Structure 1
Amino acid sequence: MNTLHSRRSVLGVVIGSMLLPSVVSSSPAFAEDAANGTTPTFVSTGAAAARENLLSAIQQGKPDAEVLAAIDRLKPFNPLPPTSSTAAKSLEGEWRLLWSINDDFSPLLRLPKPFKPNSFQYFGPIAAAEVGEGRVAQGLTSGLLGNSQLWLSSGTEPLPYKTVESGNAPYRLEIEPPFRFQLGGRLGTNQPKRMIVEAGNDADFRKVNARTKEAQLAGKNVYEQIYVESKGKGSLRISTITEGDPAIIGTILIHEKM
């Protein structure tokens, strides 16, 4: 067996479980309902009703198509202010993953309880304290990881807003190197982190993550925040990857602020 290839494959599985909780179809579920002449599952209108419908679908374990339909109904009510400074402030803190779609690419997140770890994202000062100023982080902890935590961090660069037909434009972040994949303790424990992988560019990081040559040569990942609440604990955030690594374009994640 090629030892280097084997190690890369293992890293690809673990890192993929952090970066790739889901890959989503580009066709909105409600469009399929309309085409089939059926009544969409969620017919309520207004931001509060749309939010309630989405949370209800997640909590009840509804089919992915119904959750996607609920997301599409909530997106037009995005309350995120259309300026980079206020948007960045709204993202600050610890966010727990509530839902993702098609987790064939995230074996750790497909594990049954009690082995399945929890997934988190960190922005702002809380991330800076763990992985350095100007960086964001993702973490997997609990479950089979116990009190240990896998940390994946990177830099970010805000991108210009895109024009949208209605509502607030999504806040867009370009994901920047260096990329660091580390093993340490949970948030706030001050346990030293052990470096597993560090890469100075996208191509090298994707190579370690067993990506194809095409993926290695692709542009930087763009992480788009399509719905962000700034109400403190319990706020919802919906995000997606729109550019970059072909393996993760289309990923949609729903997080709740801790």
Structure 2
Amino acid sequence: MLGKMLAFTDVNHGAAYNAKRTPFRSISVQNAHRRACNRSNVMASQQRQHAEIVPQRRQMLNFAAALAMGSMCASIPQARASSDARQALLDAINGKKGDEEVIGLLRELAKQNPTSSPAKSETIFGKWNLLWASENAEVSRVLKLPIPAKSTQLLGKDFVGEEGRGANLIDIGNGVVVVRLTSSAVPDEKDDTTVVIGPPFYLSAKLAGKELPIQDTQPGGGRKSILGNELNYFRQLYVENSGRPGDLRVSEVYAGDPAVKGSIFVHQRS
């Protein structure tokens, strides 16, 4: 009997204990469940935000990429056009095409002149080899001689030795005869595409390395210009400005001495 009573008491005590503990457990479980739900909601919200942001970010990246590609594609035709026009001109010159074809090609290239204010830019200074000259240019007759001949133009103090001066050298027979004509060479005050070539002109020549007495001298041994005082206006139609050998320069005499007016030249930087 006593055992039953103890057992009953233990059972009731346990039930009472459990009854007391149940609300706390329930609250703890509810809180845990609530926290879990909150975390789940936060994660779901973050996922939704991420899901919204990712497409937006991708759209922005795609938009930027499209702009970049559009810019690249827009620039490629111009670069190719310039390259094609340049090569077409060189091919015509190397193929000894007629003046009409060469002039047409160089005028197309001149539309893409990369140098603004070329007459006032130091980019024209240097040593320039003549690649081509129009038929009406006097030097073209020299270049057609049956013996090797070449023409070179020097611009700038570092190449001529004097400020504001230019020089043209004609080499015939690989140095057998070298004729040198120097002149003033300054930018036109009214046109920043034009170089004005004018007096004083000085002419000298060497035969097998020996100076020839071509030119009169002033009293005291100074040089005297013997080629008149005509001004010639050379418009720089196209000037490449990398400063490296191979740059092209196209110029035209649009005013001045009737003997050279209308002459067009294509030079290449040496």
Classify the TM-score, shorter chain. Answer: 0.5 to 0.7
CA deviation after TM superposition for structure 1 residue 234, in Å: 0.1
On the 8 A contact 1:75/1:227 being kept in 2, the answer is yes
CA deviation after TM superposition for structure 1 residue 45, in Å: 7.2
More contact order relative to length (CA 8 Å, sep ≥ 6):
1
Partner of 1:153: 182
1:93 matched to 2:126: yes
Letter in 2 for 1:230: N
CA deviation after TM superposition for structure 1 residue 148, in Å: 3.9
SS of match in other structure, 1:234: coil
Letter in 2 for 1:90: T
Letter in 1 for 2:262: G
Report the TM-score when normalising by structure 2: 0.60
- Separation in 2 of the partners of 1:155 and 1:178? 6
SS of match in other structure, 1:197: coil
**Aligned counterpart for 2:94 among listed residues 40, 54, 59:** 59
Partner of 2:160: 128
Residues 196/126 of structure 1: CA separation in 2 closer, same or farther (3 Å cut): farther
Query: Max radius of gyration: which structure?
Result: 2
Q: Which has the higher helix share?
A: 2
Long gaps (5+) in structure 1: 1-43, 163-169, 207-215
SS of match in other structure, 2:111: helix
Q: Cα deviations across residues 110-149 of structure 1 (Å, max 9, x unaligned)?
A: 212xx131110001134333xx332100001142x63441
- Separation in 2 of the partners of 1:245 and 1:126? 28
- Separation in 2 of the partners of 1:237 and 1:156? 16
**Aligned counterpart for 2:250 among listed residues 230, 235, 238:** 238
1:179 matched to 2:201: yes
Partner of 1:137: 167
- Separation in 2 of the partners of 1:84 and 1:103? 23
- Separation in 2 of the partners of 1:159 and 1:200? 25
Long gaps (5+) in structure 2: 1-78, 217-222
On the 8 A contact 1:100/1:253 being kept in 2, the answer is yes
SS of match in other structure, 1:196: coil
1:197 matched to 2:209: no
SS of match in other structure, 1:72: helix
Letter in 2 for 1:172: T
Percent identical pairs in the alignment equals 29
SS of match in other structure, 2:268: strand
Partner of 1:109: 143
On the 8 A contact 2:137/2:263 being kept in 1, the answer is no
On the 8 A contact 1:103/1:110 being kept in 2, the answer is no
SS of match in other structure, 2:166: strand
Residues 239/185 of structure 1: CA separation in 2 closer, same or farther (3 Å cut): farther
Residues 193/133 of structure 1: CA separation in 2 closer, same or farther (3 Å cut): farther
Q: CA RMSD in A?
A: 2.9
Letter in 1 for 2:131: L
CA deviation after TM superposition for structure 1 residue 197, in Å: 2.8
Residues 117/83 of structure 1: CA separation in 2 closer, same or farther (3 Å cut): closer
Report the TM-score when normalising by structure 1: 0.62
Partner of 1:6: none
- Separation in 2 of the partners of 1:247 and 1:173? 18
Aligned residues: 184
CA deviation after TM superposition for structure 1 residue 181, in Å: 0.5
On the 8 A contact 1:127/1:135 being kept in 2, the answer is no
- Separation in 1 of the partners of 2:266 and 2:248? 7
Matches within 5 A, 1:1-16: none
